[in-house]
C-alpha cells in the first residue's frame, strides 16, 4: 500500500537516508552505494508517479477495516497495490545481477522476494475484489509464507549458506546446531508479519524498514560480507546477522508483541471472568497511542527516532562485544 505520506515525513526520511548513505560511503571509501541509491531514487520516482496514475485509473483503492480507529475511514481513497511499481524494477535488476554473477545466494533471495511479493499481491487483489480490508485469510497467508520460507531455508541450509552459529560479535557466537532451522523459520515469517502489522500509519512501516535496512547494510559491511537483498529476514540469515537484526527490528517486534499480549490477555480474562479485558486501547501499539490522542505524524516521528537509536545500539554492540 502506498500511504499518503506527509511531505514532512518524506523529506525527513529522504534526508536521513541520504545522510546515512554519505557517511557510510565515506567510511568504507566506496561510493558505488551512492550511485545505486541515486539510480533507484529516480527509478522509484518515475515508477511511483506513473504507477499511481494507473492505480487511480483502475480505481484500486484501499479498503479500511471496520475494527480500526474511526479516523482511518478518511483514508478510504488511498491507492493500494503500489508496491508492484517499486518491487518489479528491483526484481528485474536483481535477476540481471543474479544471471551475470551466477550467485546462489542472490538466486535464493530472488525466489524468496518474488514469493513474498506474489503473496502480498494476492492479498491486495482479493481485498479489492471482495471490497473488504482482508484479502487472503490468515491461515492461507501463513501457509504461503511457510511454504516459501521452508523452501528457502532447506535449500540455503543444504548448500551451507545458513550458518548454525548465530554471530553476536567477532569473538562470540551461539551454536544453534539443527535448531537454526526453526529459528530461521521464525525470523522469516515473524519479520514479514511484524512489518505488515506495523503498516498502519502513513510512513511508519516504510520509514522503520528504511532505517533497519540501512543498519543491516552497515552491519553486513562490518562483517566483511556483502549481499544485495530486499527481505530483511532472508538477508539476515544469509549474512549471519540474525542477532543484530533482532535489535534493529525492535519496533516491529514490539508491535507484534502488543498484538499477542492484547489477544492473550483478552482470552485469559474472558475464561476467568467471563468478560474479556484489554491492556491497550487497541493493538498494534501505534493504534493505542492514536486513540490516546497523539497525532499520527508525532507517533511516526517518535517510532523512527526509537528505531534509529536501536540501529545505533546494534552497531555499537556488534563492534564492542
pLDDT for the residue numbered 279:
93
The answer to whether 128 and 81 have CB atoms below 8 angstroms apart is: yes
Query: Does a structural domain hold residue 1?
Result: no
State how many domains the chain has: 1
Domain region containing 60: 7-320
Going by pLDDT thresholds of 50, 70 and 90, the confidence category of residue 151 is: very high
Give residue 254's pLDDT band: very low, low, confident or very high (50, 70, 90): very high
Separation CA 190–CA 142 (nearest Å): 10
Highest mean pLDDT among 74-88, 95-109, 154-168: 154-168
Region 193-199: what's the mean pLDDT? 74
Which residues lie below 8 Å from residue 263, measured CB to CB, with a gap of 6+? 283
In a domain, 253, yes or no: yes
Q: Give pLDDT, residue 2.
A: 39
74-96 pLDDT, tens digit each: 555 666 666 676 677 777 777 87
pLDDT in tens, 235-252: 778 777 888 888 888 888
How far out from the chain centre does Cα 42 lie?
22
Per-residue confidence (pLDDT) for residue 57, from 0 to 100: 76
pLDDT in tens, 202-212: 656 666 666 67
Query: Would the pLDDT of 284 be above 80?
Result: yes
Which pLDDT score, from 0 to 100, does residue 14 have? 73
295 vs 70, 239, 289, 303, CA distance in Å?
14, 38, 8, 12
What's the DSSP call for residue 166? E
> What is the per-residue pLDDT for 155?
92
Average predicted confidence (pLDDT) for the chain: 77
Is residue 2 one of the residues assigned to a domain?
no
Q: Which carries the bigger pLDDT value, residue 224 or residue 284?
A: 284
Note whether residue 311 is domain-resident: yes
Higher pLDDT pick, 219 / 106: 106
Tell me what percent of the residues of the chain surpass a pLDDT of 70.
Answer: 75
Q: How are beta strands 165-169 and 172-175 bridged, if at all?
A: antiparallel
Confidence bin at 265 (pLDDT 50/70/90): very high
What letter does residue 79 receive in the DSSP assignment?
B
In DSSP notation, 169-230 reads: ETTEEEE-GGGHHHHHHHHHHHHHHHHHHHTTSTTHHHHHHHHHHHHHHHHHHHHT-----S
- The pLDDT value recorded for residue 191 is 81
Residues 39-67: tens digit of each pLDDT: 777 877 787 778 777 777 776 666 555 55
What average pLDDT does this structure show over 148-176?
A: 87
Amino acid at each position: 500500500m502506498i500511504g499518503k505520506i506527509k511531505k514532512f515525513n518524506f523529506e525527513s526520511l529522504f534526508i536521513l537516508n541520504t545522510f546515512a548513505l554519505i557517511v557510510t560511503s565515506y567510511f568504507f571509501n566506496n561510493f558505488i552505494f551512492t550511485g545505486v541509491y541515486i539510480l533507484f531514487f529516480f527509478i522509484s520516482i518515475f515508477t511511483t508517479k506513473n504507477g499511481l496514475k494507473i492505480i487511480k485509473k483502475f480505481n484500486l483503492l484501499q479498503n479500511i477495516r471496520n475494527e480500526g480507529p474511526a479516523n482511518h475511514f478518511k483514508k478510504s481513497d488511498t491507492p493500494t497495490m503500489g508496491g508492484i511499481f517499486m518491487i518489479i524494477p528491483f526484481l528485474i535488476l536483481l535477476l540481471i545481477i543474479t544471471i551475470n554473477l551466477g550467485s546462489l545466494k542472490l538466486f535464493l533471495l530472488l525466489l524468496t522476494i518474488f514469493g513474498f511479493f506474489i503473496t502480498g499481491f494476492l492479498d491486495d487483489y482479493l481485498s479489492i475484489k471482495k471490497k473488504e480490508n482482508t484479502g487472503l485469510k490468515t491461515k492461507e497467508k501463513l501457509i504461503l509464507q511457510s511454504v516459501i520460507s521452508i523452501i528457502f531455508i532447506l535449500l540455503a541450509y543444504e548448500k551451507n549458506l545458513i550458518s548454525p552459529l548465530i554471530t553476536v560479535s567477532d569473538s562470540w557466537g551461539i551454536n544453534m546446531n539443527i535448531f537454526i532451522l526453526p529459528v530461521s523459520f521464525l525470523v522469516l515469517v515473524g519479520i514479514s508479519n511484524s512489518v505488515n502489522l506495523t503498516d498502519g500509519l502513513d510512513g511508519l512501516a516504510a520509514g522503520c524498514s528504511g532505517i533497519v535496512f540501512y543498519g543491516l547494510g552497515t552491519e553486513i559491511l562490518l562483517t566483511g560480507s556483502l549481499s544485495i537483498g530486499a527481505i530483511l529476514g532472508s538477508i539476515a540469515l544469509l549474512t549471519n546477522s540474525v542477532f543484530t537484526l533482532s535489535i534493529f527490528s525492535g519496533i516491529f517486534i514490539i508491535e507484534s508483541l502488543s498484538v499477542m499480549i492484547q489477544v492473550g490477555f483478552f482470552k485469559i480474562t474472558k475464561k476467568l471472568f467471563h468478560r474479556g479485558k484489554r491492556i491497550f486501547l487497541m493493538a498494534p501499539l501505534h493504534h493505542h497511542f492514536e486513540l490516546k490522542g497523539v497525532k499520527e505524524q508525532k507517533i511516526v516521528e517518535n517510532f523512527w527516532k526509537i528505531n534509529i537509536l536501536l540501529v545505533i545500539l546494534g552497531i555499537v554492540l556488534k563492534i564492542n562485544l
